Amino acid sequence: MEDIKALVGKMTDAATEAKQYKAILNQLVVRCEELDQQLKSKKITKEQYDSQISAIFQGRQKDLAIKQLRDYINVQLSELDKNASLIEDAFGEEVRIAPTKGEEKVNVKNIMTLNRLQKEKFMREANIDEELLEEFVKRAKKKKLIDVRVEYTVYKTSGYGTYANKLFDKLSDRLVNNYPSLFKGLYQSLRMSGLKIMSKTYISMIFLNSLIGFLISWIFFTLVWKDASVIIQISRGLGLAIVFAALTGLVSYFYPSSVAREKESLIKNELPFVIIHMSAVAGSGAKPISIFSTILSTDEYPATKDEINKIVNYVNIFGYDLSTALKSVARSTPSLLLKDLLSGIVNNIESGGDLKQFLSAVADEALNRYRLERQKYVEVVATYSDVYTALLIAAPLLFFVSLAIIQTLGGQIGGVPVATIAIIGTYVVIPIVNVGYYFFVDAVVPK
C-alpha cells in the first residue's frame, strides 16, 4: 500500500504540473491569436507585433517555445499514464468477494460505473481537471502510447562476443594484467564511443577479427597468387595473411576512437539547439531533471540523446543526485563542449545560481559560435569550389585540347596512343578524381 500511495502522489504531482503548464500554454495561445488579429486588422505594425511576441516568449522563437511547452505537458501526461499502468498492474486481478446466503453476487464493474452527477461530484472532490482527464483518456485509448521511459540494460551479450570470449578469454586476461597501459586508451575510447561492449570482450573480439582476417586472406592469396612451387605459394600466402591479420587487429583497436570522434562531431552540430531547447524548458520553470527528461523525449538530437540517457539513467535507476550524474557523464563524453556545459550546470546548481539565466547566456553564446563556424565553413566551401573549377573543369579541358593537338600531329605519349590516354582519362581518371573530391568535401564540411 505504501508503494500505491507513492504512485498516487506521483500522479497528483504530474497532473498538477500538466494542468499548470496547460493553463500557461492556453494563455500564450490566446494572447498570440489576439496579436494576430490586431496585425491583420492593422491596429499594430509588424514591428510592434514582433516586439510584443519577443517580449511574451522572452526572445525565443514562438513556434519552438509553444512546441517545447507541449512536449513538457506530454512528458507529465506520460508520467501520469506510466503510474496509472503500475497501479493497474498492482490490482490486475479481479477482486472477488464470496456472497453470503441470500445475497447476490456483486459485479465490481457496476460499482465502478458512475452517473453524470456522481462523476461531477467525484471530479470536484478529487480536484481533477475535466479537460486534462479527457486528454488522458484519449491517449490511453491509443494502441501505441509514447513512453518517455527508456529501458536500460547494463550489458547485453552478443553471439559473436560470447564466442570470442570462449576462444580468447584467458589470453585477454593475461594481456590486460601484464600490460594495463597498453589498453588504457582503448578503455577510454570505448567509454566515449558509447559502444555497448565490455572492454575485455572487445579485446577478445579484436583477436577473433584478426584470426578470421588471417584465415580468409591466407586462403585467398594462396589460391589466387599461384606459383610453380606449391611451398612458395603457401609461404607467400602465409606471410601476406600475417600482415593482413595485423592490419585487421589495428583497425579493430582504433575503431572505437574513430566512433568517438564521429560522435563528437555530431554532438558539436546538435549542441547549440540542445542548449536552446534546455534554456526554453528551464525558462518555463521546470525542475532541473525535467529539463533532461524533456530533451530525452524528443528524437531531434540522436547523438546527444545517448549522453542524456546516461544522466537520466544515473538519477532514476541508480539513485545518483543530479550533480553526481552530470559529473559522471562529463568525464566520459567525447565532446569537450558538452563537458563544459555539464560542468557549468553542476557549478550553477551547487552554488545556488539561476539555472534559467545561465542556460540563456550559454544558449546565446552557443548560437553565435554556431553562426561563426557556419560562416567559416561557407568560406571554406567557396575556396573548394574554386579549386574544383581549376583542377576538375579547366585542367581536363586543357588536357584534352593538348591531346587533340598531339593526335593531329600523329604523336604518342610514352609509347601509348593518344586515343587510349583520352579514353582512360575520360572513363577512369576523371570519374575517380570527382568521386574522391566529393568524399573529401563531405568529410571536411560539417553535416
C-alpha torsion 31→36→42→48, nearest 10? 60
Q: Which residues of the chain have pLDDT under 50?
A: 92-112, 143-154
Q: Can you read off the three cell numbers belonging to residue 376?
A: 567559416
Domain boundary assignment for the chain: 2-141, 375-444
Q: What is the dihedral sign for C-alpha 292, 294, 296, 301?
A: negative
Cα–Cα distance measured from residue 280 to residue 68, given in angstroms and rounded to the nearest whole number: 7
| pLDDT of res. 81 | 67
Quote the pLDDT of residue 378. Answer: 84
Tell me the pLDDT tens digit for each residue of 90-100. 554 333 334 44
* pLDDT for the residue numbered 151: 42
pTM (global) more than 0.85: no
Classified as helix, coil or strand, 321 is: coil
Q: Which three cell numbers stand for residue 319?
A: 539513485
Tell me the per-residue pLDDT of 25-52, one tens digit each, with 9 for 90 and over: 788 888 888 888 888 887 888 777 777 8
Instruction: Let me know: does 306 contact 192? Beta carbons within 8 Å.
Output: no
